[in-house]
Structure 1
Amino acid sequence: MSNSEQTLPKAIFLMGPTASGKTELAIRLSEQHNCEIISVDSALIYKGFDIGSAKPNAQEQARAPHALIDILDPSVPYSAADFRKDALALMHDITARGKTPLLVGGTMMYFKALLDGLSPLPKADPKIRQEIEAQADKYGWQWLHDQLKEVDPVAAERIHPNDPQRLSRALEVYRISGKSMTQLTQTVDNDLPFDIVQFAIYPPERSQLHERIELRYKQMLKQGFEQEVRDLYNRGDLHVDMPSIRCVGYRQMWDYIDGNIDYDEMVYRGIVATRQLAKRQMTWLRGWDKLIKLQTPMGENAEQTLALNMKLVVDSLN
């Protein structure tokens, strides 16, 4: 490591699948070791998404405030680029006050955006998207694919004519910026002026994680998850195509309230969807570089495991 790298301020990533025990470890680190928590979770950003997102409760947040929680109405989209900008600003502020940023969550795309940077792609333009859709209705997607071949042959080779979402986005990028998506993705803002130490909590057995997920989902139902989603549903301005309502658990409850499935099916689908999310998170982590593995605190040895995890994280700061 070079001298310049050694002088970078430290920051901690604490990753792991849902229901693996990240929150309690993060809170104790915040209480005992001068860390401040930044949430890395695409559901926790939304106001009113409390029970179904397993958002830290009032007592937990009183012990250790979490940044990037409750920052947006569910009607407002939030991208990985938005997260990167907000998280970097918070990280600089935390280190300027002599503390260590502790980024905690399971939205792996957000962690990756911080580590690897993002291409400077323009934001969606509803007017241009409508123009593209109108052309698709009039001329067909193959005609639009031929248009893409002319301006971005590399993307056209990668995107099938029967993939309207990606095809529309590639054309939209070109029409907004005058540059092809291929050109823009070759330029990445990956400046991350921190010495990142990365941890992930790994459950010892997948079956144990599955049990924890089922137990937690049923606890959410007892805590009033259905009423939480009914309140969102009754607003009238939210729908299933919004990123917020597509969050795991919320989509399944929404379908139940909408009358598409019965209660038992909602419970089953909610648990299955959460397990699938955990599987995707574990798949991300298996290919992650420079990762220090921690164990999930469970059963009689939970406190001992938690203490060991604390020691591993704290030692990394010295």
Structure 2
Amino acid sequence: MSVATRDMNSGRNSVKAVLIAGPTASGKSALALDLAEAANGTVINTDSMQVYRDLRVLTARPTLEEEARVPHRLYGHVDASVNYSAGAWVKDAAAVLAEIQANGRLPIFIGGTGLYFKALTRGLSNVPPVPEAIREAVRERLEQNGPEALHDELARRDPEAAARLRPRDRVRIARALEVVEATGRPLVDWHAHGLPPLLPPQGVAALFLAPDRKDVYARIDRRFESMMDRGALEEARALGNRNLDPLLPAMKAHGVPAVIRHLAGELSREEAIAIGQIDTRHYAKRQFTWFRHQLPEFEWVAPDQAKAWLETRLGLSSGRTNPV
């Protein structure tokens, strides 16, 4: 990746934004919080599940105390009933970025959703909103006929999308069909003419926090057990009582389906915890793989070296604030 360099004329560091990615439970939030305090920064959520106000505990959002230490944006600003998309996040992030830059603060994007980071630096397809009537009709067919039947239909209407998807990938098959029905155009057409990147490749310090995988998996297990004692049951109960569409993103957050089933008496507490832990570990594994192949410009840094890496890129030294 292109590392930050000094502007020799002004003496100011040329980094205009920091991107901190990494697998879940890797310590990203603590790193971003420390950096924001040292560098007059604002922390911007770049995680697709932490946008939901209904899921503070189960998505490991920053605590109220942490949010009070430095400005945090795009956390918990979406209701669970909303099918919030990457395109919606890009629009929200663009407005927040302009505000932060106008106030002279350092934008610090932090999270684990690769598509959001990709949209920041490479842009995003500009798929228009799908009418709710079309969305509901496709989901009804999905429930009645199963994903394989819809995959066959997609193969006729959008062969390129069908070739990329597994026949049982319910969510992505439904999404591709919704776009075709709503717009009359396949996804590939929309991908070719999308939203431009929010950040230029120059002036961005992009870090992937890369702890040992066994350490991450152990932290995931401990964290999920702790969540069950810190409000996860109450969150899942409130969400389940709303009878929302199970295909909504918030309803599929790691641990949510299992905890709801536990509350309904279908699973023991131990079974729900085990499922939540396994699902989250699998997600962490996919995050490692995705970033390595999709965003190779991110520099992989071990946790014990991450603070020094950022200080070097930003021109920080202990006890000295970066002139952003």
TM-score, normalised to structure 2, is: 0.80
1:235-246 superposed matches below 5 A: 236-246=242-252
Which structure has more relative contact order (CA 8 Å, sep 6+)? It is 2
Output the amino acid matched with 2:32: A
Per-residue deviation, 1:291: 1.8
| Matched residue, 1:106 | 112
Secondary structure at the aligned position of 2:59 is classed as coil
| Matched residue, 1:17 | 23
* Deviation string, structure 1 residues 103-159 (Cα, Å, up to 9, x no partner): 001111211222222222222223335666889989x769956862xxx56557667
CA distance in 2, matches of 1:268, 1:90: 38
Would you say 1:218 and 2:218 are equivalent positions?
Answer: no
Would you say 1:125 and 2:100 are equivalent positions?
Answer: no
**Which of 282, 292, 299 is 1:292 aligned to?**
299
CA distance in 2, matches of 1:60, 1:176: 42
- Please say if residues 209 and 303 of structure 2, whose CA atoms lie closer than 8 Å, have aligned partners that are also in contact: yes
CA distance in 1, matches of 2:308, 2:48: 29
1:207-286 superposed matches below 5 A: 207-234=214-241, 236-286=242-292
Output the amino acid matched with 2:28: K
Q: Percent identity?
A: 32
- Please say if residues 145 and 161 of structure 1, whose CA atoms lie closer than 8 Å, have aligned partners that are also in contact: no
CA distance in 1, matches of 2:219, 2:140: 48
* Deviation string, structure 1 residues 146-205 (Cα, Å, up to 9, x no partner): 862xxx5655766788878666655543443344433332223224344322001110x2
Secondary structure at the aligned position of 2:51 is classed as coil
Per-residue deviation, 1:286: 1.7
CA distance in 1, matches of 2:141, 2:283: 36
| Matched residue, 1:190 | 196
Counting matched residue pairs gives: 301
TM-score, normalised to structure 1, is: 0.81
- Please say if residues 201 and 296 of structure 1, whose CA atoms lie closer than 8 Å, have aligned partners that are also in contact: yes
| Matched residue, 1:300 | none
Q: Any unmatched runs of 5+ in structure 1?
A: 298-304
CA distance in 2, matches of 1:166, 1:76: 17
Per-residue deviation, 1:309: 4.4
Taking a change above 3 Å as real, the CA distance of residues 183 and 74 of structure 1, as seen in their structure-2 partners, is closer
Instruction: Say which is worse superposed, 72-81 or 42-51, in terms of deviation.
Output: 42-51
Output the aligned Cα RMSD: 3.2
Q: Any unmatched runs of 5+ in structure 2?
A: 8-12, 317-321
CA distance in 1, matches of 2:71, 2:186: 42
